[in-house]
Amino acid sequence: MMKIAPLIIPLVILASGCGIFETRTPEAPQQGRSDFQPPTSADIVIQNLVSAIADRDVNNYMACLSDTSFGGRSFRFVPSANAARQYQAIFQSWDKNSEQYYFNNLISQSSTSSSSALLLSSVQLLPQGPDSAYYSANYTLLWPSKGSSYPQQVQGNLQFYLGVDRNQNWSIYRWVDSGVGDSLTWSNLKALFSQ
């Protein structure tokens, strides 16, 4: 035991001279691109959704959808009629987890050389009381996929029913998608990227 002690003391002195026991300056946190704003009104939820799509940010996308853990209503998606018929098995049990799975797949299959965008027109935002609102718009979703077998653009009409949770944050609790003409809708895109 006495023979080991003389070896340990020089090692401790050597290690302390290397700065191993000194505190270091913490690294600055990585700054991601985010335009997410606290959703204190229904129109901010829509702005956050548009930004989440442009930024391809799954966390911000999901934050736009109602969360029962914060006292929000259960999220429900109603697909367009054509997509509901074509992908009946997929949409029977569609929930918030399905949204996250589809959006992650969509991001992973995206071309990074082009931008994604949600374009809205014929917008209507109607308050339905102090804690709920109805939003309707025609949409064009541009999403550059890697494969040519996937649509690069979908169109339709969306209807959002928004509510307030116990933290006074707004979110979408019901999303109704419908087609315009023969165009593929957002529902088609969700079904394709949920498999």
Which DSSP state fits 125? E
- 11-50 confidence digits (pLDDT tens): 454 445 555 455 544 444 444 456 799 999 999 999 999 9
pLDDT tens track for 169-191: 999 999 999 998 888 999 999 99
Q: What is the CB-side half-sphere exposure of residue 118 using CA atoms within 13 A?
A: 21
The closest of 76, 45, 72 to 60, measured between CA atoms, is 45
CATH topology assigned to domain 37-192: Nuclear Transport Factor 2; Chain: A, (3.10.450)
Task: Classify 143 as helix, strand or coil.
Answer: coil
Question: What are 112-162's pLDDT values in tens digits?
Answer: 888 999 999 999 999 888 999 999 999 999 998 877 778 899 999 999 999
pLDDT of res. 61: 97
Spell out the residues 6+ positions from residue 111 whose beta carbon is closer than 8 angstroms to its own: 144, 145, 146
State the sign of the Cα–Cα–Cα–Cα dihedral 99, 101, 102, 104: positive
Write down the pTM of the prediction.
0.81
Each residue's pLDDT tens digit, 59-117: 999 999 999 988 889 999 999 999 999 999 999 999 999 999 999 999 998 888 889 99
| Pure H helices in 19-80 | 42-55, 58-63
Give the pLDDT confidence score for residue 89 in this predicted structure. 95
**pLDDT > 70: percent of the chain:** 82
State residue 48's pLDDT score: 97
